[in-house]
Chains A and B, each alone.
Chain A
């Protein structure tokens, strides 16, 4: 089942509909409820390589629904330290639990001050 619309307060949001959960100098990335809803049922996600460098505002992965491909943008810069293989095997978790089981990658941040550029939940919600 698809999740109910929500934008958790503890996350930071990027205008390309990505979220980041900051934990010290590591951030977990994912796509927002709005992004998965626009895409429809997600059927394919290929995680980036561990060790890959990602740059804020640039594409680091793709997710696909039956009908469309969507780029996933990095909300922050850094090095990929962990990926969600489970989301690769069962991409429907992006629809079912976009802020939990549907996380995409964990990144060791190269410039934690970039977090200041991201939106809080209320601001992101207003932007939709």
Chain B
């Protein structure tokens, strides 16, 4: 076991009473006050997450756009300077290696944010394929800390600290925030409005303190997970893996096979033929909390799928999750059961999102 890495905010987390756990090789705060409390703070006000464990890969040079078009599933030519785009990174067979946001910083400079658990593999994949393109691939993980400020009050809080106008949703801009130049991105993983701020690591503590002093509640990876599940955002390692293609994961919308990206042929085939299973959101309307790997069974008791993410929804007050389920059973309203440690719990397929921040139930 190698030593766990720590973000520049480690001491601030300890001082704030965080419970720290190993996550993807990092020692990260899973909660401070409590998962439910932090979750609801993000839904009703503002929370701040340290996501400095996430990696960054910078691709630059005349061939940068062509390399990214080859690697990423979305149409990279559609990202203008200051734009952001979600995509998946796939193997030749269409299996998903990672899901990522790419920001276009200037004409021929792009920054791609990776999942911590996949960063090294992504970097090697980028470098292996970069040889055929006139561009440079740089590991920028150590050069950026990252804070996600999320919730209905998030923009107001960051605006009060920023020297310029914040970028709109799915845009990015370089702005002075709390005294240092940061890359501010109108993105997030909670379904709420807000920004993700990439900052120099030596600025992370000043920025964190400024955001917290302005009213953001420190929130941990526990709340990050429950928030993303309510809005059905995928988590790599749970809902996405090398064994699943983006079509069955419901990510066909970010795959533009006509660009010829690696994996586009099998993905086009899967899109045309349909897949045996599909990722579907579900609720447990009566009792119980489903967890990853719980079997999904139909009303006759036959196995028809597996849960990949499951939790108790702090906003809704009952069990929710996502599962790969036989495709003909994924219509919203379909009644199924989930085997939760031997107890069969009534489940129902729902439409995305399970919780809509714009229209709270």
Contacts and interface: CB of A to CB of B under 8 A. Distances in A.
Interface of A: 2, 40-41, 43-44, 46, 62, 64-67, 69
Nearest to A43: B312
B341 A44 contact: no
Contacts of A2: 34
A67 B341 contact: no
A64 B287 CA distance: 12
Interface residues of B, number: 20
23 contacts: A2-B34, A40-B34, A40-B35, A41-B34, A41-B36, A44-B288, A44-B319, A46-B287, A46-B288, A62-B341, A64-B289, A65-B35, A66-B39, A66-B222, A66-B311, A66-B312, A66-B314, A67-B35, A67-B225, A67-B311, A69-B289, A69-B291, A69-B341
Given A41-B36, A41-B37, A64 B341 contact: no
B226 interface: yes
B85 interface: no
A39 B311 CA distance: 14
Given A40-B222, A44-B287, 17 more contacts: A2-B34, A40-B31, A41-B34, A43-B314, A44-B288, A46-B288, A64-B312, A66-B35, A66-B36, A66-B39, A66-B222, A66-B314, A67-B30, A67-B35, A67-B222, A67-B225, A69-B341
B332 to A, nearest CB: 24
A41 B288 CA distance: 15
Interface of B: 19, 30-31, 34-37, 39, 222, 225-226, 287-289, 291, 311-312, 314, 319, 341
A67 B223 CA distance: 9
Contact of B312 (A44, A46, A62): A44
Nearest to A38: B19
A58 to B, nearest CB: 15
Contacts of B226: 66
Contacts of B222: 40, 66-67
A67 B225 CA distance: 9
A6 B222 CA distance: 26
Most chain B CB neighbours (cut-off 10 Å) among A41, A43, A66: A66
Contacts of A43: 36, 289, 312, 314
Contacts of A41: 34-37
Contacts of A69: 289, 291, 341
Nearest to B19: A40
A44 B314 CA distance: 12
A103 B128 CA distance: 59
A35 to B, nearest CB: 15
